[in-house]
Chain A
Amino acid sequence: MKSKVYENASEALHDIKSGCTIMSGGFGLCGIAENSINYLATCDLKDLTIISNNIGNSGRGLVKLLKKDMIKKAYCSYVGGNPDLEQRIFNKEIDVELVPQGTFSERIRAAGMGIRAFYTPTGHGTLVAEGKEVKEFDRPCILETALHADFAIIKAQKGDSFGNLWFKETARNFSPLMAMAAKTTIVEVEELVELGELQAEDIHLPGIFVQRIYQGEDYENAIEFKKTREE
């Protein structure tokens, strides 16, 4: 098998240019591609389209790109917890398409699976349905189309040189779907393992969907709201 291993973020992301569409995994700050995002924030980029559930949160993650005015258009489902984004939306400094989270994940999955569009009841009778075809099944449904990207930047706990991935706990979220939907998927891992080390039946995402992989470093793994109980 041809190795897809790159040395670091700057090598793996070398061809990302202004105007690209980039999917970025993670739910809030859980499971985000920290190294790739930090590297992009140092680049001279503009007019990016970003597809990500939250576009960062609490001043971190993709907010670094927001603050440098690199993002022209964003697709996301949730703005709460991201005052930098909310402010830019009200000031009309960014074009945001809010997509219901289930429709968001399914539009991304559809792109990876070769499905061009699908009907869903989600959003019928709301602003989300405006301008969309409505069809009556057991109840009215709206037509939603697949969501593609030039690049996906995602993070996994473990991965091998073919790009087979294993995610930890709830860090999986949108990442495997985005990996399937992008032309070039760039993965950073906490542990780059030898081929064969991941058991075939334990692989969450087969490597066919991954083009580049690198060993990440210095993970912050930020917790947004730490809640604990007493003994």
Chain B
Amino acid sequence: MSWTKHQMAQEVLNLIPEGSSINLGIGYPTLVSEILPEDHDYIIHSENGVLGVGRRPLENEVSPTLINAGKETITTMPGASFFDSSLSFGMIRGGHIDFCILGGMQVDSEGSLANWMVPGKKLTGMGGAMDLVNGAKEVIIMMGHYSKSGESKLVKLCDLPLTGKSVVDKIVTDKGVFAINNGKFKIVKLAQNVDKSEFNGDLFEN
């Protein structure tokens, strides 16, 4: 058994104290915003230039100029603000954002992340990810544990081009929660019915 995407989002949220500022990346991390209670006390930042992202709009609230970094329509919370991209990345690079949640292709045991290209096959570009991993106080990666071909995305050393070197703090997969600790993946929590024996070897630590 493993966690569903929504259960993964809940596990991510469990790692973040209320009142924190959070930047949510494209893909899986977007799900975190969808499970937030209506009266939550988190401050959601989106790097295209908004602090205080609210719920999805009602049909009659939709505005083409009010979107998140995934280009999806959003609303704002009371107290929200808009700004240009330089100020937005100043918030990130300047260490003013507490948590960033990003998707990943590979994370290695030294905490390096790869998530922006597979040479010759796939190119999304890094977008804001390289700034986020170097600027946010804590970096959490949310991704499936295994690739479509069944290979672990938690690896000894990334072989894909890096987004950042030694930047990841925690990883939430469909199998469990892991923390980077002295060159190993420390098992923080496992999904129901996932056995520790699946994560033997030098890379993992109980």
Contact = CB atoms under 8 A, between A and B. Distances in A.
Interface in A164-190: 167-177
A127 B56 CA distance: 36
A117 B88 CA distance: 19
B84 A27 contact: no
Contacts of B71: 27-30, 57, 81, 224-225
B125 interface: yes
Interface in B1-54: 26, 46-50
A81 B148 CA distance: 21
A72 interface: no
B127 A77 contact: yes
B125 A125 contact: no
A71 B179 CA distance: 44
B64 interface: yes
A6 interface: no
B124 A31 contact: no
A13 interface: no
Nearest to B165: A125
B59 to A, nearest CB: 5
Interface stretch (A15-23, A43-51, A100-108, A206-214): A100-108
A104 B57 CA distance: 30
B128 A221 contact: no
A101 B89 contact: yes
B120 A228 contact: no
Interface in B95-154: 112, 120, 123-131, 134-135
B72 interface: yes
A173 B134 contact: no
A101 B89 CA distance: 8
B66 A89 contact: no
B65 A79 contact: no
B128 A228 contact: no
Interface residues of A, number: 58
Contacts of A29: 71
Nearest to A125: B165
A89 to B, nearest CB: 6
Contacts of A76: 125
Interface stretch (B156-164, B170-178, B190-198): B156-164
B49 A175 contact: no
B164 A80 contact: no
B49 A80 contact: no
Contacts of A120: 93
Contacts of A101: 47, 85, 89, 126-128, 131
B56 A228 contact: yes
A19 B8 CA distance: 49
Interface of B: 26, 46-50, 55-59, 62-67, 69-74, 82-86, 88-89, 92-93, 112, 120, 123-131, 134-135, 161-166
Given A173-B84, A223-B64, 14 more contacts: A27-B48, A77-B127, A121-B135, A125-B162, A170-B49, A171-B65, A172-B82, A172-B83, A174-B84, A177-B85, A177-B86, A224-B71, A228-B56, A228-B73
27 contacts: A27-B67, A77-B127, A77-B128, A78-B125, A79-B123, A89-B123, A100-B129, A106-B86, A109-B86, A121-B135, A122-B93, A125-B162, A125-B164, A127-B162, A157-B65, A167-B82, A168-B65, A169-B50, A170-B66, A172-B49, A172-B82, A177-B84, A177-B85, A221-B64, A227-B74, A228-B58, A229-B55
Interface of A: 27-31, 53, 57, 76-81, 86, 89-90, 98, 100-106, 108-109, 120-128, 157, 167-177, 204, 221-229, 231
